[in-house]
Structure 1
Amino acid sequence: MDKEEYIKVLEKRVEEYEAAIADMTAPIIPSIIPQTILVPITGLLMAERFEKITVKILNHVKDHDTEFAIIDFTDITVDRIEQMCLSELGQQIRNLTDSINLMGVKPCFVGMTPQLIKEIVLSGIELNAETHANFQAALKHLMKINSLVFQKI
């Protein structure tokens, strides 16, 4: 194998690894609540990556019967935001919210840090979405509005 072929093989392998990492750092998980997905966002967050996450969510929603999308920011702290200020992240979240709403899905955000919430409020960004402190609180709320209850068997 010559040098150019070797470089092409390595470039392809890097692309495959990047795709695998992207899938792992924002998986779309079906919830116990019907027509509800959970998307935990983990790892370093950059504007380009957030846009890819948005596209991934929208493509999933397009192909699946989804009514609610719970986006979990628990792992995203100020030190996890790379090359992006909090106000830019707030704007990205607003774009995600607007896009999900336009697809007929109700977004729900959980696990936002106080710093991120403060920046969103100070930036004047209005989110047309429900928010909850954590995933458990969001599930309880969705169970209530869907008239679902846990029962011991």
Structure 2
Amino acid sequence: MGEKKQQQHVDIQGVTYGFNVEEGEVQFEGHDVLIFWIESAMKSFLDTIEEVSGDDAANVVMHSAGFRMGEIVGEYFEKYEIENIMELFPKIYASAGWGAFTVVEFSPEKASLVIRMKNSWEYKINKLQGKTQSGSFLTGHLAGIFTRLFKQNIGCELAKSQLTGAEYDEFHCRPSSVCPIDNIHNYARKQEQKEIEKLEEKVRERTQDLTKLVKDISSPIIPVLDQIVVVPLLGKYDELRSEDMMMQIMENLPKYTANYLILDVTGIDEVVDEYTINLIRKLTDATSLLGTKSILVGVSPQLGITLTQSAYDLRSIECFSTLKHAIHYALAQEGKMITDK
């Protein structure tokens, strides 16, 4: 096998590039790198992220990715004195095609600095995308670099932007109580909360629909013959359900012009409480005011005992064991009867 071809080195303002075409390698300061076209490949890459994840998620992803990449770059700069970094930093980024960087203010005591940047790759892509607001990668990237160098959380914000007509992008970096990586977790929690809220809203809507359905089916008025209607009482009644039942019947009964209301209590729970007794009493009393006579059918032994113990006067109420007997009775009172053909 032949010997590996020696790399060709290029020095640009003290920054070294290495090229080995046969091996398909490019190195920047001794580390492997790869080169993208900004206005096509990189733009397509960012467009795809935004298309797949949406603008909000893409913004968080780019900011966090920039921060983590910045921490790696900060590790590289740690071998230099901080003052030398401020001189070397712009040269390295300019030679790598990131844009023209200038450190205009720097305070190592306050761990703060102001950086101006012209024609960054992010600005170029954002401009091609037709955006009016700058991306978040570079702010995260600078925060990551100086968080690593200053050994404390550093936040970075864009104070001026070329996209809005400024001559340059201006970044203000200073200590912050929040680590940019927290953005990922905060965003995830916000998205989870949004999904929970959506689910809760669906549950509320469904509960309302089911509650209405229960009301409708638990207090139906069934017209069986002319001037005779049946209302089945089912299950257990509490204060709210009793009030709903009362309202439903009193609002809808008049349209049937019924002379007889048959209350079928066959489906009442075996354990009868005061709400059920009061409902029966109120229904029979209220419907009598409308000129409708109430008839009870299907009274269980337990319900009969409870009604008797409640001192409710049933002498004005006709009671039958079955619905069939009650219907025949009501028809007879109207001078009618059901006969076979």
Measured against the shorter chain, the TM-score band is: 0.7 to 0.9
How far has the Cα of 1:5 moved from its partner? 4.6
Counterpart in 1 of 2:276?
89
> CA deviation digits over 1:100-135, x for unaligned, max 9?
111221111111111111122122112442221121
Equivalences, count? 147
Q: What are the equivalent positions in structure 2 for 1:51-70 lying under 5 Å apart?
A: 51-70=243-262
Percent identity for Structure 1 against Structure 2: 24
Match of 2:208 among 12, 15, 22: 15
Counterpart in 2 of 1:136?
324
2:278 corresponds to 1:107? no
SS at match of 1:41: strand
Counterpart in 2 of 1:75?
267
The answer to whether the 8 A contact 2:297-2:320 is kept is: yes
Higher relative contact order (CA 8 A, sep 6+): 1
2:310 corresponds to 1:118? no
> CA deviation digits over 1:75-120, x for unaligned, max 9?
11324x5xxx2x4432221111111111221111111111111122
RMSD: 2.1
- Structure 2: runs of 5 or more not aligned: 1-190
Report runs of 4+ in structure 1 exceeding 3 Å deviation: 1-6
Q: What's the TM-score, normalizing by structure 1?
A: 0.83
The answer to whether the 8 A contact 1:39-1:70 is kept is: yes
Structure 1 CA distance, aligned partners of 2:329 and 2:339?
A: 17
- Change in CA separation of 1:88 and 1:53 when aligned onto 2, cut-off 3 Å: closer
Counterpart in 2 of 1:36?
228
Structure 2 CA distance, aligned partners of 1:118 and 1:11?
A: 40
The answer to whether the 8 A contact 2:235-2:269 is kept is: no
The answer to whether the 8 A contact 2:277-2:307 is kept is: yes
2:148 corresponds to 1:148? no
Tell me which moved more, 65-74 or 88-97. 88-97
Structure 1 CA distance, aligned partners of 2:338 and 2:277?
A: 35
The answer to whether the 8 A contact 2:236-2:276 is kept is: no
- Structure 1: runs of 5 or more not aligned: none
Which protein is bigger by CA-based radius of gyration? 2
